[in-house]
Structure 1
Amino acid sequence: MRTSTRIAGVLTGLTLALGGAALTAPAAHADVTACINQVERELRGGEAPGAVRTACYVGQTGDHDRCVTALTASSVTNGTAVTACRVAP
């Protein structure tokens, strides 16, 4: 195999690997954002308080029950809390 072909292959591999990492990194943040947006829809345009943001971050870790409990303690309806926490992880 020629050196130029080998270098091109290595560069292509690196590009794909780094590009894939860049595409997957924002996904975790987007899930928390989706959770927060779900709650803000219930608030009809109001900004979610810090407790809601914290609960959504807990939901991102996969602790669905704790996320729902924290959201309902923040005066979010149970249905919205369940839906929001489902989109968090």
Structure 2
Amino acid sequence: MRASTRIASVLTGLTLALGGAALTAPAAHADLSSCINQVEQELHGGEAPDSVRMACYVGLTGDQDQCVKGLTAGGVTDTTAATACRVAPQ
């Protein structure tokens, strides 16, 4: 295999690997935002406190029970907490 062919192959592989990582990163951010937005709707436009953001992050990892507990401890109603935590990992 010629050096130029080998370099092209390596660069192509790196491009595909880095491109795949870039495509998956925005999806995780959107999921977290969906959870936070759900809570902010209940707050009628108020910004969610850090405790809500942390609980939504926990929900993003898939731990729905802890997400709901974190949100309800922060004053979010049970229904909103359950809905917000359900949309987090999607």
TM category (shorter chain) comes to 0.7 to 0.9
* 1:34 equivalent in alignment to 2:37: no
Deviations 1:14-67 (A, max 9, x none): 211111111112322222121111100111111011211121121122110111
Residue 70 of structure 1 corresponds to: 70
Residue 59 of structure 2 corresponds to: 59
3-state DSSP of counterpart to 2:33 = helix
Write the distance in 2 (CA, Å) between the matches of 1:58 and 1:10: 37
Structure 2 runs not aligned, ≥5 long: none
Write the distance in 2 (CA, Å) between the matches of 1:8 and 1:46: 51
| Matched residues, number | 89
Write the distance in 1 (CA, Å) between the matches of 2:83 and 2:48: 15
Write the distance in 2 (CA, Å) between the matches of 1:67 and 1:32: 12
Write the distance in 2 (CA, Å) between the matches of 1:21 and 1:54: 23
TM-score (norm 2): 0.80
Indicate the RMSD between aligned Cα atoms, in angstroms: 1.8
Structure 1 runs not aligned, ≥5 long: none
Residue 45 of structure 2 corresponds to: 45
Residue 19 of structure 1 corresponds to: 19
TM-score (norm 1): 0.80
